[in-house]
Homo-oligomer: A and B are copies of this chain.
Amino acid sequence: MNYAKALQAVEQLMMETVESEVEVLRDASRHILAAGGKRMRPRMTLLAYEAVGGTDMDAVLPVAAAVELVHTATLVHDDINDHGLMRRGRQTINAIWGRTFALLTGDFLFTKVYTLMAPYGDLNVIFAQMTSELVEGETLQAAAAKEGKLNREIYARIIAKKTASLFAGAAKLGAKLGNGTPQQVEALYQYGFHLGLAFQIVDDILDLIADSQRLGKTAGLDLAQGKGFAVAVAGNGHGTTVAVAEEPTEDAGAALKRKLLEGNYIQEGRQQARQLAALAKQQLESLPPSAARDELARLTEAAVEREY
């Protein structure tokens, strides 16, 4: 099975995994899964596996699917907390089915991750660690936003936990399963970690500058809620205090956005992201040449140069 086929197989497996006699859980799960997404995390698991010489793609599919499902579970719960109405170009689960069912669908996806990971013994330790960090990162973000205390340092901790740990773990899991050497496993972990940081900074910038339609989700929410890169840099070291609205409103978002676009923040963010992506790419030098390694390199560029 080649990489493209494997990516399709991951989609198929996720759809099968969320089968349930409870219709709303199945329908809501499939609703968000069918909306697609960049699938960065399962891509990394599959490619890391191949890059260290793994050949039995079937063996890695459940792990790749689990990584994407745990990410999806947190998106569903994020949309509840952020009152998000659009996600991946579709209405969010909370917008369609309401908060209660959105919360339960997220929980359901969490439980299905256990099902997929059950056969993988020790890999569960890595999986548990990264998932736990992810939730810690989300919580740090919510706490910083609530207290209006987001700054560069806290922002760095937040994105390391909420995004980079899952990217790093996704790559590490693939590398471990493919029987990579300890050096290769570490290199792919570092690759994922740096790429995750870069990816999140770009995500936050796009939240600021892209429009909702292109982005496929409600734009400007982070800003209005006191989250993200722009708030972090503008709220610290620049003498700018960013007031945070209790509930996101058009006005608060628009005013903050104007303020931030006037500064140099967007360019600074893109620049930081490029540096981090370059660090990610460097890690690949310790791997033998392969189509998978090339694709991992390509991902570092795609992640930072994207416009949505």
Contacts and interface: CB of A to CB of B under 8 A. Distances in A.
A101 interface: yes
Interface in A100-135: 100-101, 103-104, 106-108, 110-115, 117-119, 121-122, 124-125, 127-129, 131-132, 134-135
Given A77-B103, A110-B110, A124 B117 contact: yes
A138 interface: yes
Nearest to A109: B135
Given A22-B140, A100-B81, A125 B118 contact: yes
Contacts of A24: 139, 143
A209 B113 CA distance: 39
A136 interface: yes
For this chain, the copies found in one complex come to 2
Given A114-B127, A122-B118, A108 B139 contact: yes
B74 A139 contact: no
A111 to B, nearest CB: 4
A115 B117 CA distance: 12
Interface in A120-169: 121-122, 124-125, 127-129, 131-132, 134-136, 138-140, 142-143, 146
Q: Chain A, interface size: which category?
A: 35 or more
A103 B132 contact: no
A291 to B, nearest CB: 33
Tell me which of A115, A124, A139 has the highest count of chain B C-beta atoms within 10 A of its own C-beta. Answer: A139
A109 to B, nearest CB: 9
Contacts of A181: none
A128 B114 contact: yes
Contacts of A100: 81, 142, 146
A25 interface: yes
Contacts of A114: 113-114, 117, 124, 127-128, 131-132
B111 A135 contact: yes
A257 interface: no
A99 B81 contact: yes
Contacts of A142: 100-101, 104
Contacts of A284: none
Given A107-B110, A115-B125, A121-B121, 18 more contacts: A20-B132, A20-B136, A22-B139, A24-B139, A25-B135, A25-B139, A77-B103, A100-B146, A101-B139, A104-B138, A104-B142, A106-B107, A108-B136, A111-B131, A113-B114, A114-B131, A115-B132, A124-B124
